[in-house]
Amino acid sequence: MSNDITQNEALQEYLLRLADSDMILGQRLCELCGKAPALEEEMALMNVALDLVGQARNWYEYAAELLDDGRSADDLAFRRDAQYYRNALMVEQPNGDYAVTMARQFFFDAWHYFTLQALTKAPDERIASIAAKATKESQYHLRRSSEWVRRLGDGTEESHERMQAAVDDLWRFTGDMIEADEVERQMFEAGIGPDPEQLVADWKGLVNEVLTEATLTPPPEGAWMYRGAKEGHHTEHLGFILAEMQFLPRAYPDAKTW
């Protein structure tokens, strides 16, 4: 990303990142429909997914208006390939076992909640209002996912081991999610996005607190991190998600809503 992008371009890029992360995690969670470990968990996962897809739509609609290039919210979701997607690497990771599903959710929810909270104070009313709605949903998601991290971490020997393994495995995708690049710094300077340093501090504070309560060992500071999602470099998983998610609208572009 070059350093001389305009604020409007930065805003469009930023909105797409928010939308894409919501959309991809929503899609990931939907894969568990019909095969979650328990009926109650399935309802919860699908409801979280529904919230995220709803939020994604709100962000896509605004991004489509600002882009003003003839593409609709649906076009942004269903007609962009992996290299144009800007979701965090975290959310495209496979569901794994339930420890992985919930650790991924917790890492994301913590980032999402603090980000949305900052966005509720944005001078742009549209952003503030979408975030005001989403922040309440995100708070609920965070309560649920942090409870699962505690329950599995501080559970049986096996659940502890699995949750620790999930935390250790997913940790390398956290840097890409929480650390700001030029676009996010520009959003902060424009008074829209969160203070990058504060966001990292809040996220680490909450994550360390919950991991400690869950009797889990937080991975060491300075651990190596995967990066690249903000420039469109994804892990191999995203292409498979998009292939499934985008098949119908691409194969039947004339299909209308029911």
Partner 1 sequence: MQKPGKPEPRSLLVDQPVIASDRIPARDRTKPITEEELWTLLDEVKDPEVPAVSVVELGIVRRIAEEDGEWVVDVTPTYSGCPATEMIEQSIVEALQLAGVRNGRIRRVLTPAWTTDWITDTGREKLREFGIAPPQGSASKLSLTGMDETVICPICGSEDTQRVSEFGSTACKALYRCLDCHEPFDYFKCI
Whole-angstrom CA distances from 140 to 106, 112, 195 are 11, 12, 23
Distance of CA 238 to the CA centre of its chain: 13
CB 245 within 8 A of CB 181: no
**Minimum separation from the CB atom of position 83 to partner 1 (A):** 27
Alpha-carbon gap, residue 253 to 52, rounded angstroms: 24
Shortest separation between residue 30's beta carbon and partner 1, angstroms: 12
Which strand (E) or helix (H) includes residue 29? helix 7-30
Cβ contacts of 209 within 8 Å, gap of 6 or more: none
Rounded-to-integer distance, Cα 197 and Cα 255, Å: 45
CB of 59 to partner 1, least distance (A): 10
We find the least distance from the C-beta atom of residue 50 to partner 1, in angstroms, to be: 4
Phi, psi of 169 (to 5 degrees): -75, -40
Interface segment toward partner 1; rule CB under 8 A; list 1-9, 47-55, 71-79, 193-201: 47-55
Q: Residue 41, interface with partner 1 (CB under 8 A)?
A: yes
* Angle, helix 125-153 to helix 39-67, in steps of 10 degrees: 150
Counting Cβ atoms within 10 Å, is residue 2 exposed (0-12), middle (13-18) or buried (19+)? exposed
Does residue 44 belong to the site contacting partner 1 (CB under 8 A)? Answer: yes
Binding of partner 1 by 96 (CB under 8 A): no
Binder among 27, 58, 87, 105 for partner 1 (CB under 8 A): 58
Quote the least distance from Cβ 148 to partner 1, whole Å: 10
Question: Min. distance of Cβ 139 from partner 1 in angstroms?
Answer: 7
Residue 144 contacts partner 1 per CB under 8 A? yes
Question: Is 244 in a helix, a strand, or coil?
Answer: helix
Q: Which is nearer to partner 1, 49 or 82 (CB)?
A: 49
136: contact with partner 1 by CB under 8 A? yes
Place of tokens 């651990």: 223
If one asks whether residue 132 binds partner 1 (CB under 8 A), the answer comes out as yes
129 near partner 1, judged by CB under 8 A:
yes
Contact between residue 156 and residue 163 where contact means Cβ atoms under 8 Å apart: no
Per CB under 8 A, 143 contacts partner 1:
yes
Nearest CA to 151 out of 161, 139, 142, 160 is that of 160
Residue 213: CB minimum distance to partner 1, A:
9
Binds partner 1 by CB under 8 A, chosen from 47, 95, 159, 235: 47
Interface contacts to partner 1, rule CB under 8 A: 40-41, 43-44, 46-48, 50-55, 57-58, 113, 125, 128-130, 132-137, 139-140, 142-144, 146-147, 206, 210
